[in-house]
Amino acid sequence: MPTPNKYPKEFREKAVRMVAEMNSPDAIKRVSEKLGVNRETVRYWVKNTPVSKGGKRGLSDEEINELKALRKEVA
């Protein structure tokens, strides 16, 4: 049985948005200090959040649309 998350989904999403809005090299550090969360925890959240939601994982909406168009063209 998986363990429940210590932080609610909304809290994690808020932290990722804050990091994206700051757009600075030390944003993760500043957000983690402000929210009282371990820096590596915030880094993990950002790393594993889709680009469309402010994270670093996956493709942007523009890239997804381009990929769909290219696949359609090839087919």
The pLDDT value recorded for residue 1 is 55
**Token reading at 29:** 């550090």
The pLDDT value recorded for residue 42 is 95
The pLDDT value recorded for residue 54 is 75
Mean pLDDT by 10 residues, the chain (75 residues): 78 93 91 96 89 74 86 93
The pLDDT value recorded for residue 3 is 60
N-terminal to C-terminal alpha carbon distance within the chain: 43
Contact at 8 Å (CB) between 71 and 32? Answer: no
Domain ranges of the chain: 9-74
